[in-house]
Structure 1
């Protein structure tokens, strides 16, 4: 059996939609890996760019509540979201890597950090973030965008202080992504060897064959390194 990669979709989509969004990357990975797509746990409005193309393709789902900094802190402190993701990882695995898009990359970071804390990373070797968003924690009353941005920055620091992820990582970042800064911040959460692939695009899975080949080459190199 080929080694498995777990795919986690972005907020406001689902596993079926992500299969379509990631089809170009998946076509190049399938000769080397078995790809497993998981649905998020929470209901969500459709995500950016989902409509009208994926009209009627719901339910639309997400992994965690992170609309505001206090939402994310409370979500992970007061729910079993990470533990539920760990349980699904155990049930469907073993995996050698996790590929996450947007919020799915953030959820994957939390997952791998928890697995490392539990000494259960096992065969896991690769983390791949495509247009990932960075974890932030914190809380308190948020009154306006400027204050929230400040709390987000403090949240980055707070979350980083909980420890860096040792798993080797690949970061795929769109030059014109409105969430490019969080994607760049996410790189800082990883201690192990890091590869960064940049593409001339926005907040979406890369479609160009040459970009996807670079991503796959980076994944295979990371897999060979460990």
Structure 2
């Protein structure tokens, strides 16, 4: 499986490599992970200085409430996926997970309308995912967050949601993205490790995260 990997706000691709290293090791060989950096400078995320070197640049994918920045992000990712893809799935954390979910939702909407999609994802792996923007509205110059009470369950492909109800950094992350995904094909692991990717906190988090990821991949390969 080939994974497109999108980091969280105030980190970068190298940080996300470190954050997911134990989970990726547990998943075993046969997978390829392509880590992409955001293009917008950002303050360092809490605790990220403990796993980075001095002078490292911290990034995010788009500016808040900025339609031009979101459009640039969408165009850049579309071009990257076209040139470096295809990718079987996405693995993403926090802001990156919200971005990834935006692509998956748009892919499903285009395919449902029997229109050509620039993406061919089969599944999504989300750690403490942010809300997702509506890529269709973005094409019309409107930046709008997908709302499950309005838009419904816009992602029906297999997904894994690894998050916490005790998110002190970004309260509501994880739950918000989970609500956009269909129940019957969603795996879930709720942990007590805060706004993080399980790994450094102990073996239990790695085992449980790996379990739901494997089940998601297996479900995607059966569909």
Return the TM-score normalized by structure 2.
Answer: 0.78
The match for 2:99 is 107
Which segments of 5 or more consecutive residues in structure 2 lack a partner in the other structure?
135-143
**TM-score of the aligned structures, taking structure 1 as reference length:** 0.77
Maintained 8 Å contact 1:173/1:180: no
Give the unaligned 5+ runs of structure 1: 138-153
- Give runs of aligned pairs for residues 159-178 of structure 1, distance below 5 A: 160-161=150-151, 164-178=154-168
What is the count of residue pairs matched by the alignment? 202
Alignment map for 1:59-208 (pairs within 5 Å): 59-66=57-64, 71=65, 75-76=69-70, 79-116=71-108, 117=110, 119-120=116-117, 123-135=120-132, 155=145, 157=147, 160-161=150-151, 164-178=154-168, 179=170, 181-191=172-182, 193-207=185-199, 208=203
Query: Which secondary structure does the structure 1 equivalent of 2:160 belong to?
Result: strand
Cα distance change on mapping 1:58 and 1:189 into 2, 3 Å: same
Distance 1:163 1:183, change over 3 A: closer
Query: Is residue 125–residue 222 contact of structure 1 (8 Å, CA) maintained in 2?
Result: no
Alpha-carbon spacing, 1:32–1:212, altered in 2? closer, same or farther (3 Å): farther
How well do the aligned residues superpose, as a CA RMSD in angstroms? 2.7
What's the counterpart of residue 23 of structure 1? 21
Question: Is the 2:152–2:180 Cα contact (8 Å) retained in structure 1?
Answer: no
